[in-house]
Amino acid sequence: MAPGITIDTAPDFGASVTEKDLKLKRTLILAPPSVAAHPETLGKVAEAYDRSATDIQMLDRLAMGLVALPAATYDLVLLLTGVGDVLDRRVMEMVVKSMRPLGKLRCNEREMQSQERTEAILAGLESDPEEGMVKPNAVEAQTVKLNFRRKANASAVPANAVEEVNGARTNRGMPLAQAGVPNGVGFDDGEDELEIPDEEELLKAEAIDPNTLLTEEDRKRPIIVPEACKPNSKRRRACKDCTCGLAERLAEEDKVKRADADSNLAKLSANDLNEVDFTVKGKVGSCGNCALGDAFRCDGCPYIGLPAFKPGEEVRLLNNEVQL
């Protein structure tokens, strides 16, 4: 007689998905391009996290658009050392979009720099002293109904807790917090006491001297110009209708330079100019443009002040008169 056989049809492993699997925390590690020369550093960091739930991306590939991050996927984004040079605002926005609500952004083995923290805040993260940067939980939009009406006068609102509407409604049965309405409470109808003064009131008003708005200490302070607003040339040019004081400052600088140049000039009296022969060999201009006029002469040219002449022509000054 053959022995009896019993078949067990019960599964040895349950195929049901547990709640723990649904709440599996995923991690994103962003590495700089320099980590390619030290792969052991990346390996040590990746050992601390579950490899099946951890993604590693190179930040330069993400910045060039070669890699796309899934939206609302990661609970933790870890920045390795050296990503600050590549992590700009556009890349930070991509990283924040890939984080789940209440997801965290941290740096490995260091504190987040001020520039990185600023970009994270501008991208929508919040600073947490213990968790680093945290993505806030999305709040559903709530609709609030506003009843726009004219603001009742203080005398029109009853002082007691009874308010009649169409002569039939009272506050019986209402809670104490909703029973009374303070006097003068309501939406602003735009009819306030703030009015635009007319021309007569402006003429009667006391005039403000614009020269008193800035003190001498304010004028001495250096003007901090942002990098984006700095001119391309070495010297700024004033506008035609300049009101910031740049035109006056440039004119004062030119005046000082002109005074210094005039003080260094050698002045000759009438007796010294009785007979000056400039054809005598002596100082010779190195530029070769002495005969063309002052517009073409150097600063130290001995012919400055003389009219243009032909090369080799005899030039004499007799009683302040040029003799060619």
Q: Which residues are annotated as a binding site for [4Fe-4S] cluster?
A: 287, 290, 298, 301
Return the exposure string of 30-39: e unless at least 16 CB atoms fall within 10 Å of the residue's CB, then b.
Answer: bbbeebeeee
CB neighbours (10 Å) of residue 322? 13
- For the chain, the farthest-separated pair of C-alpha atoms sits apart, in whole angstroms, at 155
Please tell me whether residue 318 adopts helix, strand or coil conformation: strand
Strand intervals (E) in the chain: 27-31, 54-58, 74-79, 99-107, 126-128, 132-134, 276-277, 316-318, 321-323
**CA-to-CA distance for 303 and 287, rounded, in angstroms?**
12
The edge-to-edge listing of strands for the beta sheet with 99-107 is: 54-58, 27-31, 74-79, 99-107, 132-134, 126-128
Known binding-site residues for [2Fe-2S] cluster equal 229, 239, 242, 244
Q: Tokens at residue 18, please?
A: 């547990």
**CA-to-CA distance for 130 and 126, rounded, in angstroms?**
12
Known binding-site residues equal 229, 239, 242, 244, 287, 290, 298, 301
CB neighbours (10 Å) of residue 146? 6
